[in-house]
Chains A and B, each alone.
Chain A
Amino acid sequence: MSFAPRPSVQPWARVNKSRKSQIFLASVLPLTLSALIVFFTGLDQNLALVGVFLPLQLVAASLVGFLAFGRRGVGDSFLIVLVVFLSTFVLVLLVSVVASLVSQGAKAFSWTFLSQNNIYVSNTTSLDFGGVGHAVIGTLMIVGLTTIVTVPLGLAMAVYLTQSQSKTKGLVRTLTQAISGLPSVVAGLFIMSLALTLGWERSGLLGSMALLPLMLPTVARVAEEALRLVPVDLRYAALALGAPNYRAFFQVILPAAKSGLVTAILLGVARIIGETAPLLLTVPINNGTSWNIFSGNMMTLPAYIYGYLASVFEPSQNRAWGAALVLMILVALLFGATRLLSRSKSLKSKPTKQKASK
């Protein structure tokens, strides 16, 4: 038995030859032209990219679009070129940030750097000694305490904003938005002046307090959106079964919004984990390891980076880069772990026989 050759699986993707060559020309010509112009006139490369290449590319693409589809083709090609150009631009930005962080931070990065504290380390001490262990501990403790306090508060606010019919909702939402625009240094100053007025000693606890108003609006707003996405049908279904409001919320609405709420917490943590100014104002820095958040000095990664970055000595600068790399890895680990945790639970209860669901 012989089979007829399988037809193209995506017939809509077929492009004829002359169009192919047009597209090829439109992609190569602008680049070549811009390169020649830069070569002969000595124009600044970055300027040429935006001032020469982009307009040329837009014109070329619009021309091909016009030849292919007439006027509507022009708009499509124009948009495609802009989107590709701008997203490439953003991608290059992001990758270069990460790449420079990794390449510079790698010089300092080692197990010693991760585990040791900075006692007996001076500006010129070699990278074989000392590290950010104490700062990692401090950051985790301060951010952890803020998270423990903020998450219930933020979720409670989100519940209030979505589930209640109270008249003060609008006011609360506006205030939350206003706080989310609060400069972090002001939050730090506020807590610092509060501490000075009341005669409290500066400590990690004050740092946590300064971070709280920064994290709260993020958690509340994102959690509110997550809860709002749960169809009202589900709430009605639960209530129609004779559920009191709190059970309907905990057993039906909360599980349905789980992944959105996890995102809210993550975004909140991401918002504060790199905050520098409030911590510089409220937490006295330290070179030794401290496990006591309630009193005494404590080091944090942002403060560590801030302290060493301005140094003129190379080992110190490397330490700052290394600490920045550690901070980034820490955030990545936190995000990865939380995502994994929130996904594995729903995987377990996934249907064994999957059917097309609506």
Chain B
Amino acid sequence: MNSLTKASTLSSENISVWFGQRQVLSDVNLVFPANKVTALIGPSGCGKSTFIRTLNRMHELIPGAGLAGSVYLDGEDIYGEEFDAVSVRIKIGMVFQKPNPFPTMTIRDNILSGLRLSGRKIESADEVVETSLRRASIWNEVKDRLNDQAISLSGGQQQRLCIARSLAMNPQVLLMDEPCSALDPGSTRRIEETIKELSSSMTIVIVTHNMQQAQRVSDQTAFFLADDNTPGGVVEFGATEQIFNGPIDQRTNDYVNGHFG
């Protein structure tokens, strides 16, 4: 694992988002320090997933999307002129809510797909495959069937395969959009362990609906909320310990203690 790039600090400055004429996010200012895990929590429809998609420029793929503000990767604006969407996404990986391995490829090819898709040379493919699968803690389950179709795996395995697929790119930041929402407790636990191990080599942002999960895996937490017919925004942002045990805002307190949402 000596060739890994080092983690980066990611930060958003006054991010506001529109879909058509409707504003769904307003002035989100967050800092995701290197090697830290940040959890984004909040009720459905408050803009967490929308926000996380602005961080690696997946947001702009949605027709009618609009954006104001900046996202900085180690001080450089990823929406600036020096960056293009493709090179941003190579540095900032993403794991989706629903496992989405490429159904026409084998497990092995899925791992290598990122390198192939971004047009990079593949040196020592076997090593990349093994390292990535090990880091996503799925190596032992699939090492004898690397040439099987990816969709022959179970849902939890597919999701860890997707994580491994992102890791093969050696991203500096890994974004995870509710990665465990479709998984059983066992798979969830393994993914959480994976997240903790990964944080030593990258910055992680994770959207989750599961309070316990946020407490287990994250160092800091941001609570998003959208009041009726107003754009969503961050209500409170701080150390996970503080958000869950001594929130300053009453709404945060209500949410983390299960009074609404």
Question: Which residues on A are within 8 Å of B, measured CB to CB?
Answer: 165, 231, 233-234, 236-244, 247-248, 251-252, 255-256, 258, 346, 349-355, 357-358
Contacts and interface: CB of A to CB of B under 8 A. Distances in A.
B100 A233 contact: yes
Interface string B140-160: 000001011101111100000
B148 to A, nearest CB: 4
Contacts of B85: 239
B108 to A, nearest CB: 11
Contacts of A243: 86, 117-118
A357 B153 CA distance: 7
B162 interface: yes
A234 B165 CA distance: 13
Contacts of A251: 113, 116-117
A355 B154 CA distance: 8
B61 A236 contact: yes
A351 B117 contact: no
Interface string B81-93: 0000111011001
A33 B169 CA distance: 76
Interface in B56-77: 56, 58, 61, 63
B33 interface: no
A21 B162 CA distance: 59
A258 B105 CA distance: 13
B94 interface: yes
A351 B104 CA distance: 11
Contacts of B56: 240
Contacts of B61: 236, 239
A350 B149 contact: yes
A241 B100 contact: no
Interface string B235-249: 000000000000000
Interface residues of B, number: 39
Nearest to B63: A165
B91 to A, nearest CB: 8
Interface in B93-126: 93-94, 96, 98, 100-106, 113-114, 116-119
Contact of A255 (B86, B104, B155): B104
A240 to B, nearest CB: 4
Interface string B176-209: 0000000000000000000000000000000000
Contacts of A241: 89-90, 93, 113-114, 117-118, 165-166, 169
A239 B148 CA distance: 24
B160 to A, nearest CB: 15
A351 B149 contact: yes
25 contacts: A231-B100, A233-B96, A233-B98, A237-B101, A237-B102, A238-B102, A241-B89, A241-B90, A241-B93, A241-B117, A241-B165, A242-B86, A242-B89, A242-B114, A243-B118, A244-B86, A247-B117, A256-B102, A258-B104, A349-B147, A351-B149, A351-B152, A352-B147, A353-B145, A358-B151
A256 B117 contact: no
Contact of A239 (B58, B87, B155): B58
Most chain B CB atoms below 10 A, which of A239, A346, A350, A353? A239
A239 B56 CA distance: 10
Contacts of B162: 237
A247 B119 contact: yes
A237 B100 contact: yes
Nearest to B106: A349
Contacts of A248: 117
B117 A242 contact: yes
Most chain A CB atoms below 10 A, which of B104, B148, B153, B169? B104
A234 B100 contact: yes
Contacts of A244: 86, 119
A358 B85 CA distance: 32
A240 B93 contact: yes
Contacts of A252: 102, 104, 113, 117
B104 A237 contact: no
Contacts of A233: 96, 98, 100
Contacts of A242: 86-87, 89-90, 114, 117-118, 169
A353 B118 CA distance: 31
Nearest to A238: B117
Contacts of A349: 106, 147, 149
Contacts of A346: 104
B5 to A, nearest CB: 14
Contacts of A240: 56, 58, 89, 93-94, 96, 166
Nearest to A230: B103
B38 to A, nearest CB: 19
Contacts of B102: 234, 237-238, 252, 256
Given A351-B145, A353-B145, 9 more contacts: A233-B98, A241-B114, A243-B86, A248-B117, A252-B102, A252-B113, A256-B102, A355-B154, A358-B155
A248 B103 CA distance: 14
Contacts of A258: 104
Contacts of A353: 145, 148, 152
Contacts of B106: 349
A76 B169 CA distance: 57
Given A236-B61, A242-B87, A256 B104 contact: yes
Question: 4 closest pairs, A vs B, by CB?
Answer: A242-B90, A243-B117, A242-B118, A241-B114
